[in-house]
């Protein structure tokens, strides 16, 4: 993925240089966004990268469930000064680190100035310590989700071939192009039923998006297919067992797709 100029974040502060920051987001829930994020982190770690996954799905976090972790300390404890950042960053299966968010925290459902400043501060602190910081955001286009995405230099939108997922993915990408002035967004098509389906979907979305963005004088937009993860029974088995696909089914078609995604990002 070509690194783009970071979008201006609403706080007006500038993020310090350091890790490559990648927001993984989606137009709707249930498309495998957190599954892709966790396994991508493992694939990057296997390539010698120092990776942190920050659960930015504030209030509805489930990264701990996917990784079968039972944290005593979370991002909420760091926000409220009940724990230090070092205490809250945990090792995860797959050789990467995680900073988990508390689930069911209603106070994080809205983007208050306090939430905005604290999240920005956390990202600033962790960037110099890692090669990659993956922000596992919530789904949709709420203020909290869009702010989390704005903290990353690059974006991956995860979608499935299902019509409602594609419609919501289009809406999300359109908002990123208009509100955050992003000219380049990456796409991962999860649960692809056949080889090449991701390329076809990306092409269709690009055509629609280009017609929309082209209406703005002097602007162009590129949606780039970064990965295609095949529909694979191993994925369901790994999710039900709360295991990383790359650790327990490394030879599966879906795992190969995740590995190819990591290689493309590193390339």
Position 67 confidence tier, pLDDT thresholds 50, 70, 90: very high
Percent of the chain at pLDDT exceeding 90:
75
Structure tokens at 148: 């989390």
Question: Which of 261, 263, 259 minimizes the C-alpha distance to 227?
Answer: 261
pLDDT(11) > 60? no
Where do the domains of the chain lie, and which CATH numbers do they carry? 20-258 (3.40.50.300)
Round to whole Å and give the CA distance between 174 and 181. 10
Mean of per-residue pLDDT scores for the chain: 89
pLDDT(40) > 90? yes
> With contact defined as beta carbons under 8 Å apart, do 63 and 98 qualify?
yes
Position 161 confidence tier, pLDDT thresholds 50, 70, 90: very high
Model confidence over 93-107: pLDDT tens digits? 999 999 998 765 656
Mean pLDDT of 4-28: 65
Mean pLDDT of 205-229: 83
pLDDT at 105 (0 to 100): 60
Model confidence over 121-147: pLDDT tens digits? 999 999 999 999 999 999 999 999 999
pLDDT at 17 (0 to 100): 54
Mean pLDDT of 197-213: 90
What residues contact residue 205 under an 8 Å CB cut-off, 6+ apart?
Answer: 166, 169, 170, 173, 187, 223
pLDDT at 104 (0 to 100): 54
The mean-pLDDT minimum among 28-37, 68-77, 198-207, 241-250 falls in 68-77
Kind and range of the H or E element at 71?
none
Round to whole Å and give the CA distance between 51 and 92. 10
For 72, phi then psi, to 5°, come to: -90, -25
> With contact defined as beta carbons under 8 Å apart, do 42 and 259 qualify?
no
């Amino acid at each position: 993925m070509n690194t783009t100029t970071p979008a201006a974040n609403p706080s007006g502060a500038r993020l310090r240089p350091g890790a490559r920051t990648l927001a993984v987001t989606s137009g709707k829930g249930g498309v495998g966004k957190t599954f892709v994020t966790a396994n991508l982190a493992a694939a990057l770690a296997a390539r010698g990268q120092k990776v942190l996954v920050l659960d930015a799905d504030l209030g509805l976090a489930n990264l701990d469930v996917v990784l079968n972790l039972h944290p005593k300390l979370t991002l909420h404890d760091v926000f409220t000064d009940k724990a230090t950042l070092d205490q809250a960053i945990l090792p995860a299966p797959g050789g990467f680190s995680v900073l988990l968010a508390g689930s069911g925290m209603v106070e994080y459902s809205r983007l208050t100035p306090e939430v905005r400043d604290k999240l920005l501060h956390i990202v600033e602190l962790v960037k110099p310590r890692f090669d990659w910081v993956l922000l596992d955001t919530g789904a949709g286009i709420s203020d909290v989700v869009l702010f989390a995405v704005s903290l990353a230099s690059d974006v991956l939108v995860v979608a499935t071939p299902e019509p409602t997922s594609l419609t919501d993915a289009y809406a999300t990408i359109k908002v990123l192009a208009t509100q955050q002035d992003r000219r380049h967004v990456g796409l991962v098509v999860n649960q692809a039923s056949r080889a090449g389906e991701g390329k076809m979907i990306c092409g269709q979305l690009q055509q629609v998006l280009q017609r929309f963005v082209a209406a703005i004088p002097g602007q162009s937009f590129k949606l780039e297919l970064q990965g295609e993860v095949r529909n694979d029974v191993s994925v369901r088995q790994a999710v039900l067992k709360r295991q990383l696909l790359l650790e327990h089914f490394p030879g599966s078609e879906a795992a190969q797709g995740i590995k190819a995604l990591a290689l493309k990002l590193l390339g």
